[in-house]
Amino acid sequence: MADNNHSHFQHLYFVLTGIPGLELKYYWMAFPLGAIYVIALFGNGVIISTIKSELSLHIPMYYFLCMLALADTELALCTMPSMLGIFWFNYKSIAFDACLVQMYFIHTFSAIESGVLVAMAFDLVLAIWKPLRYSTILTNSVVCRTGAVIWTRAICVVFPVPFLIKRLPFYRSNILSHSFCLHQDVMSLACASTQVNSLYGLIAVIFTKGSDSLSILLSYAFLLRTVMAIASGEGRLKALNTCVSHICAVLIFYVPLIGVSVIHRFGKHVSPLTHALMANAYLLIPPVLNPIIYTMKTKEIRRKLIQMFVAAKVTAEG
């Protein structure tokens, strides 16, 4: 009878968790956290504006990089309000519906980033395998359709998730283990069977990040075979050098992602601090490091950055 009374009950809000055990140091952590978001938003903004303004960068590789920077920017914006609310103002509450909205956008843009990394891997394969036919195969229309497929897949796959959470009753704990809302975290607080949620979540992960990671792995296996077939050592080195940035982007996205997934499914006895740090790394590291990596490897972006700093200096002195 009690369960029947609570069958449609939901909390008005959830309580977010910062970093367990470090509550007294939130004031000092607020400034580095703010700097991280500034770097993420500024760095990705520079990449997007440079690719838009430099005609020499209007090629598929940089269009995909622009999509990656856009996904990183949106991912940072998704977590920024709740993260800064906790560490700057000690405000830990988030409305139930707001939590579902944040959860939807976090998982959507994460799936988009994963899809863009696959597109970038195929772009590299095509550039090294068929360099003479590269521009005729990967035209602007193909790039646009690829981007549309990536975004549509992410939006459609993640769309049912908030509704699957919405149908569940919540009448016990409302304390989440992260500074933002993730599907696994919210689902663990439900007071009813979550088998449907777990099954759909597993299918969604396999369909997006599982198939994406396998596609990237196969792409690099083929790429390595193609590079090894190049006669000159200098040619092989040049070909491999073009892959460095993408390899770094793949690692900084998938390594924290795998860590978070493993901890949520098998790390029931892992400390809350480990849960929090892995989740923060999963969502904060890619938006910060991707622009740094690609700025170091792309002279046009470095030049744009230098011009911006010189202009700012002149303005300050004037």
In this prediction, the residues of the chain whose per-residue pLDDT falls under 50 are: 1-7
Give a yes or no: residue 7 inside a domain: no
Residue 170 zone, left/alpha/beta (φ > 0; ψ -120 to 50; rest): beta
Residue numbers of the domain that contains 252? 13-308
Identify the pLDDT of residue 2.
Answer: 41
Give a yes or no: residue 317 inside a domain: no
Q: Does the CA dihedral 196-202-206-208 come out positive or negative? A: positive
Identify the pLDDT of residue 4.
Answer: 46
> Under a CB-based contact definition with an 8 Å cutoff, are residues 182 and 103 in contact?
yes
Give a yes or no: residue 220 inside a domain: yes
Total number of domains constituting the chain = 1
Identify the pLDDT of residue 268.
Answer: 67
- DSSP E strands in 41-185: the ranges are 93-95
Give a yes or no: residue 102 inside a domain: yes
Identify the pLDDT of residue 73.
Answer: 96
Give a yes or no: residue 3 inside a domain: no
Report the CATH number at residue 254.
1.20.1070.10
Give a yes or no: residue 278 inside a domain: yes
Q: Does the CA dihedral 166-197-73-176 come out positive or negative? A: positive
Residue whose C-alpha is closest to residue 123's, from 67, 62, 61: 61
Query: Within 13 Å of residue 147, how many CA atoms lie on the same side as its CB?
Result: 18
CA distance 318 to 312: 10
> Under a CB-based contact definition with an 8 Å cutoff, are residues 111 and 154 in contact?
yes
Give a yes or no: residue 27 inside a domain: yes
Give a yes or no: residue 24 inside a domain: yes
